[in-house]
């Protein structure tokens, strides 16, 4: 039984940024406890060591870093940002989200696509996306979802031709538009833009400011927020089983004071409170809200939980001995040249999941991170990837990159190796600290295929096997010579560009492994984000 302190008692469930923010505001106003089910605070914010530096397995950027952004204000207050991000002129730039990064676009034919053709298609897509935001508050809509609206507009604006070079150019434009649509799925945190309601799409407002990152890692923010709270405020490994509210509860031996809230934990601990703030993930509420709250939540709240969508984004981190990209390139985009936004995508996830990959961000600066790419993938394809072993994911990424770059990466791109942790490599969800998958099995070379089942380039034949480094690790096949003595990496998880389309601007949604001269390596993980569904109360 937990007692403690006079005045009003408040219990906060969840120690992500929302829970920590609530605790900060309530500090000094009575008795406060924050109960976190996991082993750390921070929620979707999760910075881990990888390669030569750090990677953001959770939130990555501050979107719209300017005084109107509470995350920016906190980061500035704690002195966590670089001098460039703190400049007033950077805070005033109307970037509308991510400012364009120096990029190169690879086509599935193994060629670099014309920057002019890419820019032409991107300009059209941006124009259509802007027009889709104009229906906020409209009573009559041309389509129920953003996806249906965009397809109709693209069908009208991109003419069809009888053949020849003109038809090839139109097909390339459609393929680039299909890639733009995938990027928007990542940004909106959804499998398809058909699942994002058109009317509220324009409610999202981009704050001014050039997107920035934390030089010392995003986790420095919750770390500072945590250190500002009185010792003992945050209780880790304290999973809540049931919240009983609208009651009249008493502490043992004290019948003089009633508490309307009783919080029962999985380990048997009980906390009585006057008020409770619940900041758990939407996915948890969807699965558990009926038995988590006693009595049940009011129907309007339960209906909101049911109607909110829940998308999946994953990051894939790949480290290379040497970069195959140019020093100025910060974004490697991917276009599958046979695709079109006017056609239904393949439902065969096993054969085509990797085609949902939007491309790779080059982590900057390389002297801090090494030669590391961060890939983004969303939707059902992202969820299917979670069912694969990391060995399968890494082998497929090798095949995809070799297909896209042709011979450009032949000397730099090596078959990725697999970091082996204490429990084997897994996908992790940073909001729940749960393993989503077990130890992978050995993948033989040549196991990946391209469009229509055609074989993709395969790594070199295996010449060695990984030694059994520690009890519990798995004997792995290596498609290239063994790396040096294995190290034990930390297992991490990742976030993305995703953000709820109807929410104000908020951060999105971004152990020692290989060093220079060793094999490349990777980490993968997942993070889910809510989005309103067409036809729901939130999407009307």
Q: How far is CA 178 from CA 50, 198, 368, 450, in A?
A: 32, 18, 34, 18
318 cis-preceded (ω within 30 degrees of 0): no
* Nearest of 358, 353, 364, 277 to residue 323 by alpha carbon: 364
Each residue of 192-234: pLDDT tens digit?
999 999 999 999 888 999 999 999 999 999 999 999 999 999 9
Q: How many CB atoms lie within 10 A of CB 394?
A: 28
Q: How far is CA 75 from the centre of its chain?
A: 21
Report pLDDT for 128: 97
Burial class of residue 420 in the structure, from the number of CB atoms within 10 Å of its CB (0-12 exposed, 13-18 middle, 19+ buried): buried
Cα gap 444→458, rounded to integer Å: 10
Q: How far is CA 189 from CA 195, 260, 397, 480, in A?
A: 10, 37, 22, 36
Report pLDDT for 429: 54
Report pLDDT for 450: 31
> Alpha helices of 63-109 — where are they, by DSSP H?
70-77, 83-86, 88-91
pTM (two decimals) = 0.77
Report pLDDT for 407: 55
User: On the CB side of 494, how many CA atoms lie within 13 Å of its CA?
Assistant: 28
The neighbouring-strand residues paired with 464 are: 478
Report pLDDT for 425: 38
Cα gap 492→267, rounded to integer Å: 26
Report pLDDT for 491: 25
> Which stretches of the chain drop beneath a pLDDT of 70?
1-6, 97-98, 161-163, 407-540
Which residue is associated with the tokens 């276009």? 335
206 close to 58: Cβ distance less than 8 angstroms = no
Each residue of 260-280: pLDDT tens digit?
999 999 999 999 999 999 999
Cα gap 357→186, rounded to integer Å: 9
Instruction: Compute and round to an integer the Cα radius of gyration of the chain.
Output: 24
User: On the CB side of 56, how many CA atoms lie within 13 Å of its CA?
Assistant: 31
Which residue is associated with the tokens 């941006």? 126
End-to-end CA distance of the chain, in Å? 45
* Nearest of 195, 219, 191 to residue 383 by alpha carbon: 191
238 close to 265: Cβ distance less than 8 angstroms = yes
Report pLDDT for 430: 53
Token pair of 35, please?
A: 């109960």
Percent helix, strand, coil in the chain (nearest 5)? 30, 20, 50
The phi, psi pair for 372, rounded to 5°, reads: -125, 130
């Amino acid at each position: 039984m937990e007692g403690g302190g006079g005045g009003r008692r408040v219990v906060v469930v969840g120690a992500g940024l929302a829970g920590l923010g609530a605790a900060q505001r309530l500090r000094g106003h009575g008795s406060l406890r924050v109960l976190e089910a996991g082993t750390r605070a921070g929620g979707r914010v999760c910075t881990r060591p990888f390669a030569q530096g750090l990677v953001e397995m959770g939130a990555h950027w501050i979107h719209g870093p300017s005084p109107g952004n509470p995350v920016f204000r906190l980061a500035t207050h704690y002195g966590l940002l670089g001098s460039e991000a703190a400049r007033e002129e950077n805070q005033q730039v109307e970037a509308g989200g991510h400012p364009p990064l120096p990029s190169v676009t690879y086509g599935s034919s193994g060629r670099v696509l014309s920057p002019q053709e890419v820019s032409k298609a991107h300009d059209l897509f941006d124009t259509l996306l802007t027009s889709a935001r104009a229906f906020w508050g409209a009573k009559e809509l041309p389509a129920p979802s953003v996806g249906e609206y965009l397809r109709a507009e693209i069908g009208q604006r991109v003419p069809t031709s009888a053949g020849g070079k003109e038809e090839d150019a139109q097909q390339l434009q459609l393929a680039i538009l299909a890639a733009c649509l995938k990027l928007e799925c990542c940004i909106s945190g959804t499998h398809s833009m058909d699942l994002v309601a058109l009317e509220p799409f324009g409610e999202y407002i981009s704050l001014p400011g050039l997107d920035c990152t934390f030089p010392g890692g995003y986790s420095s923010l919750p770390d500072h927020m945590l250190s500002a709270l009185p010792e003992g405020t945050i209780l880790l490994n304290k999973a809540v089983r049931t919240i009983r509210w609208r009651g009249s509860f008493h502490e043992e031996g004290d019948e003089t004071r009633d508490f309307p809230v009783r919080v029962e934990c999985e380990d048997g601990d009980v906390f009585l409170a006057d008020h409770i703030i619940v900041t758990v993930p939407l996915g948890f509420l969807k699965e558990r809200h009926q038995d988590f709250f006693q009595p049940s939540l009011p129907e309007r709240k339960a209906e909101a939980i049911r109607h909110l969508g829940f998308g999946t984004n994953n990051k894939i981190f790949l480290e290379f001995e040497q970069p195959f990209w140019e020093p100025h390139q910060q974004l490697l985009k991917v276009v599958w040249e046979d695709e079109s936004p006017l056609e239904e995508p393949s439902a065969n996830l096993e054969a085509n999941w990797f085609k949902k990959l939007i491309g790779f961000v080059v982590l900057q600066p390389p002297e801090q991170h090494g030669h590391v790419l961060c890939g983004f993938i969303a939707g059902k394809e992202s969820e299917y990837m979670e069912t694969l072993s990391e060995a399968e994911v890494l082998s497929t990424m090798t095949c995809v990159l070799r297909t896209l770059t042709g011979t450009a990466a032949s000397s730099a791109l090596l078959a990725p190796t697999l970091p082996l942790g204490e429990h084997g490599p897994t996908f992790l969800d940073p909001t729940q600290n749960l393993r989503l998958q077990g130890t992978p099995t050995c993948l033989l070379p040549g196991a990946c295929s391209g469009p229509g089942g055609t074989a993709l380039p395969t790594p070199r034949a295996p010449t060695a096997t990984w030694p059994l480094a520690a009890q519990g690790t798995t004997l792995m096949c290596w498609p290239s010579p063994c790396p040096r003595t294995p190290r034990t990496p930390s297992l991490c998880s990742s976030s993305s560009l995703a953000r709820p389309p109807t929410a104000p601007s908020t951060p999105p949604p971004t152990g020692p492994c290989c060093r220079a001269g060793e094999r490349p390596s990777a980490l993968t993980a997942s993070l889910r984000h809510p989005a309103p569904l067409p036809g729901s109360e939130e999407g009307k």
